[in-house]
Amino acid sequence: MATITEREAKAITSAVLGAAMAPEVIVSVRHRQTGNLRFAQTQPTTEGSVETVEVSVSATIQGRSATVTGNQTDKASLAALMVEAEELAALSPVNPEHQPPVGKGAYLEVAGHDPATAKLDAAQRAAIAGRAIAAAARADVELAGYLEHREQSFAVATSAGAFAYHPSTAAALTVTARTRDQTGSGWAGAESHRGKAIDGGALTELAAEKAELSAAPQALAPGKQVVILEPQAVAELLEFLVDALDARAADEGRSWFSRPDGGARLGEELFHTSINLRSNPADKQHPSAPFTADGQAHKIVDWIRDGVLSSLTRSRFWADKTGTAAVPPPSSILLEGADLDLLELVGAVDRGVLVTRFWYNRTLDPRTILATGLTRDGTFLVERGKITAAVKNFRYNDSPVNMLQNVLALGRPQRVYTRGGRVMVVPPMVVKDFNFSSTSDAV
């Protein structure tokens, strides 16, 4: 059940490029073998062993471009895909922002493939889920969860000579424990490129403890509060800011990063001086993709350095137009922290609210990156350094900008669960004046 090797990937991309009449072609191949197991009501519900393939071909003829994606890899299908891309491109209007494909370049060495994780199967899924279910039974909570592992081969080639291949693995488990009377709910999750980092028993014990602690919550008045945001909550809010790091939107006046008199706010101290936000695809513990689907390299980037905005993402068109370097949206985000446990942060707070995670987060106002959402699965009152009560969930209306400006303390960074999306490693944070706008009865 292995995914394609570099040689097999190259055979596919070469078959496509070899069939091309168009002068400019980009081809990418993504081959996945995924295993998953869902459980709820403390028993397995559905599961799957799924193979997927994506071959994506972009063709450009005299500034006219089109992208076609298929999932069949026989020679005839690949040639047909190339022809369809060319036919569509010829029919398409000229794109004045078209950029020629990237040429041969250097990519970071990333070790993201763990052979043991690639070999996980239904029996091992059941074993991990079985430990979670047994822990839930011991704690007398109702458990729901999701376990997924996958192996992936990803390759890109261009008519300008670029070729890149990246094999990787990923595994993740999330669990939600609910008290029998349905008044308490706790969540825990883990994600890694190594399956052995996933401990179903330990995660379930943490979720069960949170469920019990969160039972029968009291309503606390909304308003501005000191909050201790666990890494999962930090990441969920931070993501809005990462997605807003776009130079063109800033230059065109459509972003929080726009300078009122035009241009972007690069070089300005926009955040607390303790904030350092970086990307590093080659991070040993938390590897991520070293290139994009069009063959651009993901590099080590400092986005925010000591609170100063130092980089923005920039499309190749915008980089060309403004005479600057192109920077693709990152495959990993690392927010630096300090060597402190979550409970050490809690211990330093006189009065505040501890937030496990957020839910249904949506942008409200792109001008200020204002977002809304709700706390979920473990929201607690902290008094004099101790968790003293469960509190009802809150809706927040606040911005990650404020989070990065109003930070009081940072803890130890931790990989968070992103459903297989961008790798995010962020610390728990203590933040002042966080705006809770209303409460919710949801458990």
Partner 1 sequence: MRPMSTSRRGFLRTTGAVAGAGVCWPLVARADPPGSRQRAPVKAPASGDLQLLAGSPLLADEALAARALAAATRAGASYADARLVAWQRERIAVSDDHIRGVQRSSEYGLGIRVIAGGAWGFAATPRLDPRSVEDAAKRAVAAAKINAGLRREPVELAPLAAIVGSWVSPHTIDPWTITPQDKAELLIRASQAALAVAGVDHSAAGVETQREEKLLLSSEGARIHQLLVRIRPSLTATAVDRRRGQFASRDHEIAPMLAGWEHLEDAKLVDDAPQIGEDAVRKLHAAPVEPGERTVILDPSNLWLTIHESIGHPTELDRALGLEANYAGTSFIDPRQTGALELGNEMINFVADRTQPGGLATCAWDDDGVGTERWKLVENGVLVDWQTTRDQAHWIRAKTGDKAGHACSYADSYASVPFQRMPNVSLQPGPEGYTREDLINATEDGILITGRGSWSIDQQRYNFQFSGQFFWEIKNGRLARPLRDVAYQANTVEFWRSCDMLGGVGSYRLGGSFSDGKGEPSQSNAVSHGCPPGRFKVNVVSTAGKPSKGAK
For the segment 192-251, give every residue that binds partner 1 (CB under 8 A). none
Among the listed residues 10, 11, 34, 300, the single contact to partner 1 using CB under 8 A? 34
How far apart are alpha carbons 146 and 69 in whole angstroms? Answer: 29
How far apart are alpha carbons 280 and 302 in whole angstroms? Answer: 9
Of 59 and 382, nearer to partner 1 (C-beta) is: 59
Among the listed residues 42, 99, 310, 322, the single contact to partner 1 using CB under 8 A? 42
Among positions 412-431, residues that touch partner 1 (CB under 8 A) are 419
Nearest to 335 by CA among 244, 417, 269, 428: 428
369: contact with partner 1 by CB under 8 A: yes
Binding residue count for partner 1, defined by CB under 8 A: 103
Of 44 and 105, nearer to partner 1 (C-beta) is: 44
The window from 87-95, 158-166, 329-337, 345-353 that contacts partner 1 (CB under 8 A) reads 87-95
62: contact with partner 1 by CB under 8 A: no
What is the per-residue DSSP string for 305-371? ETTEE---BB-HHHHHHHTS--BPPPSEEEE---S--HHHHHHT-SEEEEEEEEEEEEEEETTTTEE
Among the listed residues 21, 23, 41, 138, the single contact to partner 1 using CB under 8 A? 41
What are the DSSP E strand ranges found in 194-300? 223-229, 277-279
50: contact with partner 1 by CB under 8 A: yes
438: contact with partner 1 by CB under 8 A: yes
Binding string, residues 104-143; x marks residues near partner 1 by CB under 8 A: ------------------xx-xx--xx--x--------x-
- Shortest distance, position 395 Cβ to partner 1, whole Å: 6
How far apart are alpha carbons 421 and 348 in whole angstroms? Answer: 33
**Which residues make Cβ contacts (< 8 Å) with residue 76, sequence separation at least 6?**
none
How far apart are alpha carbons 165 and 182 in whole angstroms? Answer: 48
Of 229 and 346, nearer to partner 1 (C-beta) is: 229
Tokens of 223: 């308003």
39: contact with partner 1 by CB under 8 A: yes
Strand, coil or helix: 275: coil
306: contact with partner 1 by CB under 8 A: no
Binding string, residues 329-348; x marks residues near partner 1 by CB under 8 A: --------------------
CA dihedral 156, 159, 161, 163 (to 10 degrees): 10
360: contact with partner 1 by CB under 8 A: yes
